[in-house]
Amino acid sequence: MNHTQIELGTILFTLVEPHRGHEVEYNRWYERDHFYAGCLIGPGILAGKRWVATRPYKDLRYPAESPITGAADRGSYLATYWVDKSMQDEWGTWGAGQVKALHRAGRMFGERDHVHTKLYRYLGGAFRDEDGVPPELALDHGYGGLVAVFGEVPEGEEPAAVADRLAPLEGSAAMRLSFRPVPIPDDAPPDIPRVKEDRFRFLHLYFVDRDPAEVWGDEFAGMEKELEVAGATLLWAGPFIPTIPGTDTYADQLW
């Protein structure tokens, strides 16, 4: 039997806003059905995890307006999924067909908006600890929080080069994983927007040991300057904490 090393290849990053008055209904639909039926049962999935930003965490986001989210406080629930590098094409094909099948079966949820839903290709990571958690296990480790940072480089620059110019990690961030957008396929659901600037953009995910609100001022509030020094422009930065599966905790704290 041939064995292929498990290796992170692609992620799905989906930031969603439930409509007001439908928060609990959305949380239960996504957690109890769509998290699995829409993603996790697909081929090549390594892991998935849900995150949330309640009002205090939304208040930490910046800038106030962004091409990623529009108003900075849009997007309460985030789901992240890891796909093995050897099966990213199979999962993409499966995912496109599965969403259509769920639509036909009446298993989708209309009272929500996709704020930012996109596939991203893994470029590499920076790690605080010499023998720390591998990126493939980041969603399973149980980190206290996640900080998402979107940026853009000028035309002629490579998004992958930005991470190499950033300072080494220290403090609460155990890893910084870098990604670039995968073009949206033509047969993707029509409510997922297509963005021509994607070729200049990148996503950095910081996995932090602590509640990100506790360290935001010292470690993440200056991200705009840090990216500027690295030759990029900050588009959006925001913290999240893990949801508590099997509960509606935080659903009444989004606004």
Reported as a single tens digit per residue, the pLDDT across 225-255 is 999 999 999 999 999 999 999 999 999 999 9
Q: Give the Cα separation of 237 and 152 in Å (integer).
A: 12
Query: Strand locations in the chain, DSSP E?
Result: 8-18, 45-52, 65-66, 70-71, 77-84, 112-127, 145-152, 173-181, 201-208, 233-242
**Predicted TM-score (pTM) of this structure:** 0.94
Rounded Cα gap, residues 79 and 59, in angstroms: 20
Fold of 8-242: Alpha-Beta Plaits (3.30.70)
How far, in Å, CA of 44 to CA of 85, rounded? Answer: 8
Separation of alpha carbons 243 and 249, rounded Å = 7
> Biggest alpha carbon distance in the chain?
53
Using DSSP, state whether 136 is helix, strand or coil. helix
Contact of 37 with 94, CB cutoff 8 Å: no
In tens, the pLDDT along 190-227 reads 666 667 788 899 999 999 999 999 999 999 999 999 99
Going from N- to C-terminal start, the domains of the chain cover 8-242
